[in-house]
């Protein structure tokens, strides 16, 4: 009887090991870790976000998108959906216009360094943002949130945008091979984080204000949007609103959170897959939607998409 029971234990051991390896396989590194890619693919990936920013800021400031500045930069990509001039006061108008031209420069920088690809279809319609805000607060806002209605609404609308670029650049740099790639991305990161800080500072000033006609303050909206993005990205807290519980504040000594940062007050980093899950709004890098109804472009994003997109 000794032999069969030894054999049985062996079988059990093999089964346990098999189970473990299956479990291992269902958590491939790209869930929260970086995808395999060379420098040009990683830098090009950022072009998706720069196109989104350029379209959003240019449209909001001037009523026209990137093609009105330089038609060749889109490399034949389709015009964006929902391009609309926002109703902005002079301060926010001037800032948005400057950011818009900065994004054009960023696109040129990336195209000059690695070549680029056609601009993907981008959806910046009122409805796209209204859906994000509904999901963030957890119920349909009445009336639906209008991103272009006034300066405050627009600042809340772009609150999430340069931040996605910022954490993406922080995530990309350690995975870049060449000095010239790291130099470019560090320079993009510098300006992107500056834009984020400006937007957050303007919102912070009005943090306790209710966003008419909702009974929700500016701070509360930022907290809700940041949690939605954390949820979509699925890799823990990496996006924080303008007010945090003490345990997330700088050195656990303040609930003020004008900048989003980790336990050492260092920037959070996101991988390409995390970013795609947020900008698609689907929580799934293989299922496009949100700002990119047909998916983002470039080797990284295209290789992650389900067949048929
Ligand atoms: C980077 O990888 C892509 C495939 O994903 C390839 O087409 C491209 O030629 C590579 N670029 C360089 C500079 O090696
Ligand atoms: C558009 O951008 C491309 C790429 O940077 C550049 O070569 C071209 O001169 C620009 N065209 C105009 C009209 O600015
Ligand atoms: C743009 O987004 C809105 C909101 O999700 C959606 O209703 C609309 O169909 C989208 N447009 C396209 C062409 O995907």
pLDDT of the residue at 208: 98
pLDDT at 20 over 90: no
Q: Mean pLDDT throughout 157-173?
A: 97
- Choosing from 127, 134, 295 the residue with most ligand 3 atoms within 8 A of its CB, the one to mutate for a pocket test is 127
Give the residue-averaged pLDDT of 149-160: 98
pLDDT of residue 77: 97
Residue 5 has a pLDDT of: 54
Closest ligand relative to 299 C-alpha: 1
| Ligand 1 atom nearest residue 41's Cα | 1
Across residues 198-213, what is the average pLDDT?
A: 98
Q: Is the CB of 79 within 6 Å of ligand 3?
A: no
Angstrom distance (rounded) from CA 231 to CA 237? 8
Q: What pLDDT shows up at residue 307?
A: 82
Determine which of 6-15, 118-127, 159-168 has the lowest per-residue pLDDT on average.
Answer: 6-15
- The CA 70 to ligand 2 mean position distance, Å, reads 6
pTM (two decimals): 0.91
**What is the percentage of the chain residues whose pLDDT exceeds 70?**
90
Tens of pLDDT, residue by residue over 68-91, are 999 999 999 999 999 999 999 999
Whole-number Å distance, alpha carbon 68 to ligand 3 midpoint, is 23
**Does 26 have pLDDT greater than 50?**
no
The angle formed by the CA atoms of residues 127, 204 and 130, to the nearest 5 degrees, is 5
Report pLDDT for 309. 78
- pLDDT tens-digit readout, 192-204: 999 999 999 999 9
Task: Output the average pLDDT for the chain.
Answer: 92
> What is the rounded distance in angstroms from the CA atom of residue 139 to the CA atom of residue 8?
55
Is 19's pLDDT higher than 90? no
Nearest CA to ligand 1 atom 11: 40
pLDDT in tens, 258-291: 999 999 999 999 999 999 999 999 999 999 999 9
Q: What is the mean pLDDT of residues 17-31?
A: 48
| Averaged pLDDT for residues 143-155 | 98
CB 13: neighbour CB atoms within 10 A? Answer: 10
Ligand 3 neighbour 227 (Cβ under 6 A): no
Confidence of residue 308 (pLDDT cuts 50, 70, 90): confident
Domain boundaries, the chain: 40-304
Output the DSSP codes for 35-76.
Answer: PP--HHHHHHHHHHHHHHHHHHHHHHHHS--GGGT-GGGGTT
Cα 72 to ligand 2 centre (Å) = 7
- Cβ burial of 76 (10 Å; 0-12, 13-18, 19+) is exposed
pLDDT at residue number 116 = 95
User: How far does residue 42's CA lie from ligand 1's centre (Å)?
Assistant: 10
């Amino acid at each position: 009887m000794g032999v069969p029971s030894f054999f049985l234990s062996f079988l059990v051991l093999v089964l346990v090991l098999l189970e473990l390896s299956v479990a291992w396989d269902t958590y491939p590194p790209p869930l929260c870790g970086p995808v395999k890619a060379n420098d040009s693919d990683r830098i090009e990936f950022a072009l998706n976000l720069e196109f989104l920013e350029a379209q959003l800021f240019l449209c909001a400031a001037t009523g026209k998108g990137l093609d009105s500045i330089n038609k060749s930069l889109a490399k034949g990509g389709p015009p964006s959906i929902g391009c609309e001039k926002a109703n902005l006061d002079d301060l926010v108008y001037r800032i948005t216009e400057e950011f818009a031209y900065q994004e054009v420069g960023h696109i040129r920088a990336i195209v000059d360094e690695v070549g680029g690809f056609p601009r993907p279809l981008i959806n910046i319609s009122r409805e796209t943002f209204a859906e994000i805000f509904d999901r963030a607060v957890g119920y349909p806002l009445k009336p639906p949130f209008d991103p272009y209605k006034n300066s405050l609404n627009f600042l809340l609308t772009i609150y999430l945008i340069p931040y996605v670029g910022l954490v993406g650049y922080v995530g990309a740099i350690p995975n870049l091979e060449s000095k010239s790639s790291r130099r470019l991305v560090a320079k993009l990161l510098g300006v992107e984080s500056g834009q984020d800080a400006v937007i957050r500072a303007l919102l912070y000033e009005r943090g306790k204000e209710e966003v008419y006609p909702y009974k929700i303050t500016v701070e509360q909206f930022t907290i809700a949007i940041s949690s939605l993005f954390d949820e979509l990205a699925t890799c823990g807290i990496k996006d924080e609103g303008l007010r945090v519980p003490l345990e997330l504040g700088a050195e656990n000594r303040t609930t003020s959170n004008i900048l989003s940062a980790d336990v050492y007050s260092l920037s959070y980093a996101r991988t390409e897959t995390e970013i795609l899950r947020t900008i698609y709004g689907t929580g799934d890098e293989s299922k496009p939607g949100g700002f990119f109804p047909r998916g983002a472009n470039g080797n990284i994003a295209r290789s992650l998409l389900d067949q048929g997109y």
